[in-house]
Copies of this chain bind each other. A is one copy, B any other.
């Protein structure tokens, strides 16, 4: 799993059209998010078999969130961070499981939908910890 963290002032995402037939139908095409961490996430081959993947991600994200004093999170499925992507059917399942896992931890989490093309506007801060990348 490869992730980029963005500490943002704001994010607006518009789901424009399905990229995968298997993508969920959605009512809410536009999502807005403010003053939190956006996590761009590429799920990779092998991620489905890693036992502590979600827990490792959660712990790292919490460390980061504490450093920058953030309590809101937006998970953004993002296929452009890896040449070794997990196949879409498994990736979709794993992505939504991760959202659920973080919600069960009590986090304030929103997310972009898997398998949709998205238009987005984002305002990323410019301090030294505003952008980080991780591999899990």
**Chain B contacts for A17, CB-based, 8 A:** 126, 128
Which secondary structure characterizes the binding site on chain A? Answer: strand
Give the contacting residue for A121; candidates B14, B121, B130, B131; CB below 8 A: B121
29 chain-A/chain-B pairs, Cβ below 8 angstroms: A4-B80, A14-B126, A15-B126, A16-B126, A17-B126, A17-B128, A19-B128, A79-B133, A80-B131, A80-B133, A81-B81, A81-B133, A83-B135, A117-B126, A117-B127, A117-B128, A117-B130, A118-B126, A119-B123, A119-B124, A119-B125, A119-B126, A120-B123, A120-B124, A120-B126, A121-B122, A121-B123, A121-B124, A122-B122
User: Is A56 interfacial (CB 8 A cutoff)?
Assistant: no
